[in-house]
Amino acid sequence: MTHTFIIAQRVLSQLKGDRRFLALSIFAPLLIIYFLKLMFDTFPSFVDVKSNTIPISAFIVHFLSFILCAVLLVQERTRGTLERMMIGGFSKTSIIGGYSLGYFGLATLQAITVLTESIWLFNLSYDTKTVVLLFIVIWLLAIVSVMLGIFISTFAKHEAHVFPFIPLIILPSVFLTGLIIKPDGLPIWAVIIGKCLPLHYAVNIIHEIVKPEYKIIDTLVDFGVLTGYIFGLLGLASLTLKETE
Amino acid sequence: MNAIEIENLSKYYGKLRALNSMSLEVPEGTIYGLVGPNGSGKTTLIKVLVGSLHPNSGFIKVLGLDPLKDKWKLRKQIGYMPQSPALYDDLSARNNIMFFGKAQNVPDLKKKADEILSFAELTSRANDMVGTFSGGMKKRVSLCCALIHNPRIIFLDEPTAAVDPHLKMQSWILFRKLAQSGVTIFISTHQMDEAMLCDKVTILRNGEILAVDTPQNILQRGKTNLKISVNNEEKVSTIDSTPKSLADELKKYGLEKNITSVELHSSNIEDIILSIVHEKEKEEKS
């Protein structure tokens, strides 16, 4: 457990030291949400853009957290520090745990800033309970993305290997999870694929939370699946991260 | 006791044979050199010995332990310096060393880190980010990371490549001191002057051992071209590179019969440059 904290501490000091990375992780989502606002402003007033704002913001966090975490962990491999950590006495469990813990901080910061900007920019009037619940969903999705990044990084030998996973895993989320249109009219196989993607559950919860008649019990299963993704991907990453080539 | 024992070790990358039925023994407390051109299998052998690569076949014991089955016991006792610096550019030299020290639960880590930074002549840059360091300085930090937990055996993969001659000399003084205190040093190099400083050398080519011997014995396998001018007439002869052969050859030109061996030690260009640098430093200090 101590080793996990040592790695988490290192990840955090590394993030603090790499200001470019930190700025990219925090300000890039904010800038993209601003561009989204500019685009939504051109839509006719009868189009309901508000219901799509938070799900799209959540997707931006999902995409960036995944790619930044995967690339950084692959860098550990290409630089030789991953091998050195393992030979130096760190177990793969402590490496994955330390990385996850280190990125929890970044995921929290991303969830807070993205939600605050979206609510302010789109003039969304939600009560405190709804805002807290929306934060929890985006935060959970960010953690899932970190885990997904760690898992995918185990298949990549260098940074460029991460990019083919974007059209494979991230982009289908845009079309099949209800982010833009409800998946009801899609072919059954496309609905099944959509249900395999974590964004599907996050979008479901967000759409429910903002309804006035929302009851937490209606989304317990979706919350459970989203949390399940975290532990499932953590387990898979532990299996696929090799200590010995 | 042997620090390393290898029997019939083979490693393949697909169809490529990186190590071919290799057998060798490394006595404890020695500096053991692995010499060979690029692609000869030096790095692969080191990676197999530290438990980072699975061999395809063969028997390996490092400090009496199996690098894969007993990895946790073994990793506490070995130091490893890979060919690339393998450091965090966004962390200071001190924090890099402390990070790897923490993995091994080194007692009194801060003091130990200060000592090792001082040895590597990095005290003045200890708090600077490694990303701002030159290649040679990164190698020094990397060496410090490998030594921080006082390992019983150290695997060094080309540790002095890109290091300046002065620090190279200092490193070798340290390697010798460590070996005298019982630490085994397993070092790969393609620099022949470094091979000469080892107790024993294995020459590798295409994953096969070509020779295992002391550097002195290996050197004697060579030939020396001797050019002697007698009354402006040049006489050229090729003799074995042994002190006895040189004495025997010189006897033909009048060397006294009771002289049985002749050795020449000339400064190489590195020694000469080093002495010029040291003289200048002395001058500046005085």
Do B209 and B70 have their domain in common?
Answer: yes
Query: Above 90 in pLDDT, residue A19?
Result: no
Residue B80 belongs to domain with CATH number: 3.40.50.300
* CB contacts, 8 Å: A80 with chain B: 82, 84-86
Measured between CA atoms, the residue of chain A closest to residue B149 is: A88
A244 touches chain B (CB under 8 A): yes
Contact B88 A84 (CB under 8 A): no
Q: B76, B80, B99, B106: best mutation site toward chain A, by most A Cβ within 10 Å?
A: B99
Is the predicted pLDDT of residue B269 greater than 70, yes or no?
A: no
Give me B232's structure tokens: 């402006």
Taking alpha carbons only, the member of B158, B153, B178, B182 closest to residue B168 is B158
* Same-domain pairing of B273 and B181: no
Query: pLDDT at residue A17 above 90?
Result: no
Query: Which band of pLDDT confidence, cut at 50, 70 and 90, is reported for residue A1?
Result: low
- From B217, B247, B276, the end of a domain falls on B217
Does A79 contact chain B (CB < 8 Å)?
Answer: yes
pTM over the 0.90 mark: no
User: What is the average pLDDT across A15-41?
Assistant: 86
Do residue A6 and residue B52 have CB atoms under 8 angstroms apart? Answer: no
Q: Look at residue A45 in the predicted model and tell me its pLDDT.
A: 76
Mutate: best of A18, A22, A87, partner B, most B CBs <10 A = A87
Of B52, B68, B91, the CB nearest to A83: B52
What's the structural domain count of chain A? 1
Closest CA to B198 of B31, B61, B1: B31
Task: Provide the 8-state DSSP code for B191.
Answer: -
| Domain endpoint, select from B183, B217, B251 | B217
Regarding whether B116 and B133 lie in a shared domain, the answer is: yes
**pLDDT classification of B232: cutoffs 50, 70, 90:** confident
Residue ending a domain, choose from B217, B232, B266: B217
Model pLDDT for residues A135-161, shown as the tens digit of each residue: 999 999 998 998 898 888 888 888 888
Tell me if chain B has a CB within 8 Å of the CB of A87: yes
Q: How many CB atoms lie within 10 A of CB B253?
A: 10
Residues B198 and B237 in one domain: no
Three-class secondary structure of residue B94 per DSSP: helix
- Shortest Cα–Cα distance, A94 to chain B (Å): 10
Report whether B179 contacts B152 (CB < 8 A): no
Distance from CA of A241 to the nearest CA of B (A): 13
Task: Using CB atoms within 10 Å of the CB of residue A197, give its burial: 0 to 12 exposed, 13 to 18 middle, 19+ buried.
Answer: buried
B159 in A contact zone (CB under 8 Å): no
B277 and B211 assigned to the same domain = no
Closest CA to B46 of B156, B200, B175: B156
B111 and B150 share a domain?
A: yes
Tell me: do B165 and B251 sit in the same domain. Answer: no
How far is residue B152's CA from residue B74's CA, in Å, rounded to a whole number? 10
Is the ipTM value over 0.90, yes or no?
no
- For residues B140 and B110, membership in a common domain is answered with yes
Are the Cβ atoms of B99 and A244 closer than 8 angstroms? no
CB-CB neighbors (< 8 A) of B104 in chain A? 88-89
**Of B35, B240, A59, B259, whose CA–CA distance to B43 is shortest?**
B35
Whether residues A244 and B53 touch (CB distance < 8 A) is answered with yes
Confidence band for B125, pLDDT divided at 50, 70 and 90: very high
Contact list in B for residue A14 (CB cut-off 8 A) is 88, 90-91
Q: How far is CA B269 from the centre of its chain?
A: 20
Residue B270 reports pLDDT greater than 90? no
Q: Which of A12-26, A104-118, B127-141, B252-266 has the lowest mean pLDDT?
A: A12-26
For residue A117, give its domain range.
2-244
Could you tell me if B195 and B231 lie in one domain? no
Give the type of residue at B27. P
Residue spans of alpha helices (H) in chain B: 42-49, 71-75, 93-103, 109-119, 135-147, 165-180, 192-195, 215-219, 243-251, 269-285
Residue type at B82?
A: P
Domains of chain B: total: 2
Residue A175, both tokens: 């079309």
Q: Where are the alpha helices (DSSP H) in B29-134?
A: 42-49, 71-75, 93-103, 109-119
Residues of chain B with pLDDT > 90, as a percent, come to: 47
CB contact A167 to B (< 8 Å): no
B192 and B257 together in one domain? no
Chain A interface includes B129 (CB < 8 A): yes
Measure A18 CA to nearest chain B CA, in Å. 6
Tens of pLDDT along A179-235?
888 888 888 999 999 999 999 999 999 988 988 888 888 899 999 999 999 999 988
Half-sphere exposure of A90 (CA within 13 A, CB side): 29
- Decide if B84 touches A, using CB distance below 8 A: yes
- What is the token pair recorded at B54? 């699975």
Do B202 and B228 have their domain in common? no
Whether B150 contacts chain A with CB within 8 A = no
Same domain, B113 and B24: yes
Q: How far apart are the first and last CA of chain A?
A: 25
Instruction: For chain A, say whether B109 makes contact (Cβ under 8 Å).
Output: no
Nearest to A83 among B54, B76, B82 (CB): B82
Q: Which residue of A has its CA nearest to B72?
A: A89
The kind and range of the H/E element at A152 are helix A128-153
Q: Is A125 on the interface with B (CB under 8 A)?
A: no
Query: Which residues in chain B have Cβ-Cβ distances shorter than 8 Å to A84?
Result: 80, 82, 86, 100, 145
Beta bridge partners of B208: B205
Q: Is the CB of residue A90 less than 8 Å away from at least one CB of chain B?
A: yes
> Are B48 and B59 contacting, i.e. CB atoms less than 8 angstroms apart?
no
What's the rounded mean pLDDT across residues A239-244? 79
* Domain region containing B238: 222-285
- With beta carbons under 8 A apart, name residues in chain A contacting B103: 3, 6, 85, 88-90
Chain B 37-66, residues with CB within 8 Å of chain A CB atoms: 47, 50-54
Do A89 and B80 count as a contact with CB atoms less than 8 A apart? Answer: no
Stretch (H or E) spanning B6: strand B2-13
| Contact A18/B at CB under 8 A | yes
Asked if B103's CB is within 8 angstroms of A89's CB, the reply is yes
